[in-house]
Amino acid sequence: MRFNGLSRHNRLNRLNLVIMLAYITRRSLLLILVLFGVSVLIFGILMTFSPERRAATFVSSPQQAKDIPRIIKQFGLDDPFYVQYIRWIKEVFKGNLGWSLVASRPVSEAFWNYFPVTLEMNLFAAPIVIIFGIWLGTLSGIHRDTWIDHSTRILAIVGWSLPTFLFALVLLMIFYGYFQIFSPGVLSDHLSMFILDNPDSFKAYTGLYTLDGILNGRLDITLNALSHLVLPVLTYVIVVVALNMRVMRSGMIEELSKEYVITAIAKGADKHTIHIKHARRNALLPVITVAGQLVAYSMEGSVAVEVVYNRHGIGWWLAESAVQLDIPVLMCICLFMAVIFVITNLTLDILYAYIDPRIRLN
Amino acid sequence: MKSQHPRLRELKFTLYRIFRNPSAVIGFLLILFFLAVAVFAPYIAPPKYAHNPYLMPHKGFSPTPKPPSKTHILGTASGQYDIFYGVVWGTRTAFKIGLFVVGFAALVGIALGAIAGYYGGTVDEVLMRITDIMWAVPTLVLAMTIVVAFGRGLDKIMIALALVGWRWYVRVIRSEILTLRDQDFVQAAKIMGVSDTKIILRHILPNAIYPALIMASMDMGSMVITASFMSFVGLGAPKGYADWGQMVALARNYIVGPPDDPLKFWYTIVIPGGCIVLFVLGWNLIGDALRDAFDPKLRRR
């Protein structure tokens, strides 16, 4: 009775689950170690400032310079490294990340102001990058060494060679300067003034102007925000799509040379089925990794785009803080990046282990 | 007939494969051109200030850029800096950045990767965990933080990028070495009593180095992009220093001209910007050709 097919299947399933859980736990522990390491690294880099210089950020006028020794004592700025580190990390866990000079408000509060701007751009750009990358990569993999392949290859290399900030400037020069259709910023001035003046009639439900416009019944704001998104998204897509495309292409070429494809051809399956149903599905695996990396590194691409188009998001905040020596912000953004990196990696690991059983047994 | 040394034959075959590819030829020509400009910079654009040739000469302080003329063949940027001079000496800056950053990163990365991959065990575990930590923060963000800690300047940018850049090479070299370590020729060398250092340098690295070479070539471009972006933001070279990124920053307020002629100041951005793109393109084309030439799957067909 106990040894019928179903219960054996169940037992195998349970074994699989245990292995999977053990694998996830192991990966999570490693990633927590990474987070800890990053926090020590970042804190260590910024501890290279002398106590005097760090105290000077609390001082606003030269007359207060005599207060510096008192400040050093009060905040324990010359304590041993580990004492200061523990004090800092305790505050971080409480959600206190310090004061931002650039935003002139607490870092944690300012963060949620800037984050939606970056998120909005990435939400629009990511699907385009992934869909175009997969589509063009598949095409050039199938039609290898034809004009399609060569032109996507040129597109990829040129895309790689274009510095984001430069491409953004040139687009701004053409579309803002010459054609006068798209302007920098997140919203047109009269609309952002309207929102500032009427906080009651326009509620920020999500912080994403495109979505808030719909939720508040102000389609003009949505359309305006969308028109401000065209150039940033275009810049980002052109520069980033190349990587996705090349990975997809080499994956396709590799899969198409495997024996199961030859078998399928021999059995008379039609080309479309072989390409799309068999080869592409397998070639998608490496693309998942790249897409994951894209999520983790999307912030990096956003920096140049936000600086040039004057969109006040996380990337702009980072650049501005680096110029104005706003150290708490730099620490916060580094930690934030590390957290995003860890979460994406964990998701990818689980996804991979789920798809490919060899990984979790290794 | 006396046969050639196998390594020489292999090199000849590789070179043949690389230069059969037209994009490689274009890439090498571009880089050769830039190299020539960098080497002969003092003759092409004689420096005005002997103590620091990287300072761009400027006549007057007028903020409005001037179009190309007889005295300034590529025009002047905001602050009347001569664009031609800046572009020529900026080539040297670009090579300095690329060679220093990639050289340091590749050396450190290859050494650490070789040690981690060859010895394995605890050494590997510790080195790879450190690399993992470095991986978690994107290049630009980490480099910016380091520049802030060390103080502004082009040299600080170079140091920061070098300190961040090595992590790629560790992973690549290590994974190559892991597949080579247990192969028969390495075991044979071990049994014959060859020292570990010699095995790594003579027998393993020559077989594992190609992916790192490809990466180094691509990195020459991307590191120059990152450095020029940091200069553009204002973390790098001071105003008037012959650096392409800094020159783009000078042009930033002039991307849009007066209403009747919106593209009036195009030269202030297109010329230094074009130099960055061509420089990076050259290295990327070389990297792409190297990848094709070294890909074992495509190699002998």
List CB contacts (< 8 A) between B150 and chain A: 48
Q: Hey, where are the domains in chain B?
A: 6-299
CB nearest to B137's CB, from A153, A165, A337: A337
A177 CB within 8 Å of a chain B CB: yes
Identify from B142, B163, B271 which residue to disrupt to test chain A contact, counting A C-beta atoms within 10 A and taking the largest count. Answer: B142
How far does the CA of residue B142 sit from the closest CA of chain A (Å)? 7
| Residue B212 pLDDT exceeds 50 | yes
The amino acid at residue B170 is V
| Residue B58 pLDDT exceeds 80 | no
Place of tokens 């074992």: B296
| Residue B182 pLDDT exceeds 50 | yes
Greater confidence (B214 vs A354) lies with B214
Look at residue B110 in the predicted model and tell me its pLDDT. Answer: 93
List CB contacts (< 8 A) between B222 and chain A: 160
What is the separation, in whole angstroms, between the first and last Cα of chain B?
Answer: 26
Of the candidates B106, B104, B102, B164, the residue with the CA atom closest to the CA atom of residue B130: B164
The amino acid at residue A227 is S
Look at residue A6 in the predicted model and tell me its pLDDT. Answer: 56
Contact B81/B58 with Cβ under 8 angstroms? yes
Pairing of β A105-106 and β A99-100: antiparallel
Look at residue B301 in the predicted model and tell me its pLDDT. Answer: 44
Interface of A with B in 180-209 (CB under 8 A): 180
CB nearest to B284's CB, from A46, A161, A172: A161
Look at residue B280 in the predicted model and tell me its pLDDT. Answer: 94
Count of A–B CB contacts within 8 Å?
Answer: 141
Write down the ipTM of this complex: 0.86
Residue B82 β-bridge partners: B76
List CB contacts (< 8 A) between B280 and chain A: 160-161, 163
Greater confidence (B53 vs A5) lies with B53
Give Cβ neighbours of residue A252 (< 8 Å, ≥ 6 apart): A137, A138, A140, A141, A142, A279, A280, A283
Q: Report the alpha-carbon distance of residue A137 to residue A151 in Å, rounded.
A: 11
Instruction: Give the single-character DSSP code of B45.
Output: S
At B79-118, the pLDDT tens digits run 778 888 889 999 999 999 999 999 999 999 999 999 999 8
Residue A99's φ and ψ, nearest 5 degrees, are -110, 135
List CB contacts (< 8 A) between B142 and chain A: 334
The amino acid at residue A1 is M
Look at residue B101 in the predicted model and tell me its pLDDT. Answer: 95
Contact B145 A163 (CB under 8 A): no
Look at residue B22 in the predicted model and tell me its pLDDT. Answer: 83
Of the candidates B124, B287, B225, B299, the residue with the CA atom closest to the CA atom of residue A300: B225
Q: Report the alpha-carbon distance of residue A324 to residue A321 in Å, rounded.
A: 5
Contact B225 A34 (CB under 8 A): no
Instruction: Give the single-character DSSP code of B252.
Output: G
Look at residue A360 in the predicted model and tell me its pLDDT. Answer: 61
Contact B138 A337 (CB under 8 A): yes
CB nearest to A177's CB, from B135, B218, B257: B257
Task: Compute chain A's Rg from CA coordinates.
Answer: 26
At B106-157, the pLDDT tens digits run 999 999 999 999 888 899 999 998 998 888 888 899 999 999 888 888 999 9
pLDDT above 70 as % of chain B: 97
Q: Report the alpha-carbon distance of residue B42 to residue B40 in Å, rounded.
A: 6
Look at residue A266 in the predicted model and tell me its pLDDT. Answer: 85
Place of tokens 């931002």: A100
Phi/psi region, residue B60 (left: phi>0; alpha: psi -120 to 50; beta: rest), is left
- The 3-class secondary structure across chain A, one letter per residue, is CCCCHHHHHHHHHHHHHHHHHHHHHHHHHHHHHHHHHHHHHHHHHHCCCCHHHHHHCCCCCHHHHHHHHHHHHHHCCCCCHHHHHHHHHHHHHCCCCCEECCCCEEHHHHHHHHHHHHHHHHHHHHHHHHHHHHHHHHHHHHCCCCHHHHHHHHHHHHHHHCCHHHHHHHHHHHHHHHCCCCCCCCCCHHHHHHHHHCCCCCCCCCCCHHHHHHHCCCHHHHHHHHHHHHHHHHHHHHHHHHHHHHHHHHHHHHHHCCHHHHHHHHCCCCHHHHHHHHHHHHHHHHHHHHHHHHHHHHHHHHHHHHHHHCCCCHHHHHHHHHHCCCHHHHHHHHHHHHHHHHHHHHHHHHHHHHHCHHHHHC
**How far does Cα A109 stand from its chain's mean position?**
20
Look at residue A1 in the predicted model and tell me its pLDDT. Answer: 43
Look at residue A21 in the predicted model and tell me its pLDDT. Answer: 84
Look at residue A100 in the predicted model and tell me its pLDDT. Answer: 85
Contact B233 A172 (CB under 8 A): no
The torsion of the CA quartet B124, B127, B128, B134, rounded to 10 degrees, works out to -170
**How far does Cα A133 stand from its chain's mean position?**
17
Tokens (6 digits) for A182: 């798209």
Contact B144 A319 (CB under 8 A): yes
Mean pLDDT value across chain B = 86
At A181-236, the pLDDT tens digits run 888 888 887 887 787 777 777 777 777 888 888 888 788 888 888 888 999 999 88
A34 CB within 8 Å of a chain B CB: yes
Of the candidates B211, B208, B220, the residue with the CA atom closest to the CA atom of residue B293: B211
As a CATH number, domain B6-299 is: 1.10.3720.10
Greater confidence (B300 vs B280) lies with B280
Look at residue A296 in the predicted model and tell me its pLDDT. Answer: 63
| pLDDT lower than 70: segments of chain A | 1-9, 11-12, 60, 296-297, 356-362
Contact B222/B208 with Cβ under 8 angstroms? no
The pLDDT of B262-279, averaged and rounded, is 87
Look at residue A50 in the predicted model and tell me its pLDDT. Answer: 77
Identify from A160, A167, A240, A320 which residue to disrupt to test chain B contact, counting B C-beta atoms within 10 A and taking the largest count. Answer: A160
